[in-house]
Amino acid sequence: MIGNAAYAGEVAVFAQLPVGVRRRAYRLAYAVLSAYWLVRQPRTHGVKCVLTDGDNVLLVRHTYGPDEWELPGGAMKSAEAPVSAARREMEEELGIAIDNWTSLGEVAGRAQHRRDTLHCFHAELHNPSFTLDLGELYTAQWFPRKSLPQGLGQYVHPVLSKLA
């Protein structure tokens, strides 16, 4: 538990930094990770979260990496359960607490020299209110599932295909 408390403290301090500083930190971290991925070609584990409101699905654009519409989510921490990672990522990125997750299974693929395993989850929301982490996300927007925008990330369609 001490590790979780220390992590929460670090997150709180980072969140207090100005948005521009946090955006630069995310871009720098992404550049360093990209070099690491190129050299090591690691196996990674992460989560993708499908948030729906009726027929609409929430997509986000990050302040770092490719300029693509993505499903929200992120990397899992060591020994973190996938559903815990989904819950944590939604709290960090969108400021929303979600406990009623439905597992959609896994999607595997290769991206940016990584070998990804993504644990996918779904939550149906009704008239949700978000508080975006503007250091990490430029925007979040609802789109009808049958009319998604151009410029989607590579995992959007494979993950959405798991949604009944």
Please classify residue 154 by burial: count the beta carbons closer than 10 Å to its beta carbon, then call 0-12 exposed, 13-18 middle and 19+ buried.
Answer: middle
CATH architecture of 2-160: Alpha-Beta Complex (3.90)
Under the banding of pLDDT at 50, 70 and 90, the label for residue 1 is very low
Answer whether residue 83 shows pLDDT above 80. Answer: yes
Please state, in angstroms and rounded to a whole number, the distance separating the CA atoms of residues 71 and 25. Answer: 22
Over the Cα atoms of the chain, what is R_g? 15
- Check: pTM over 0.75? Answer yes or no: yes
Q: How many C-beta atoms lie closer than 10 Å to residue 100's C-beta?
A: 8
Q: Residue 4 has what pLDDT?
A: 57
Answer whether residue 2 shows pLDDT above 50. Answer: no
Answer whether residue 76 shows pLDDT above 60. Answer: yes
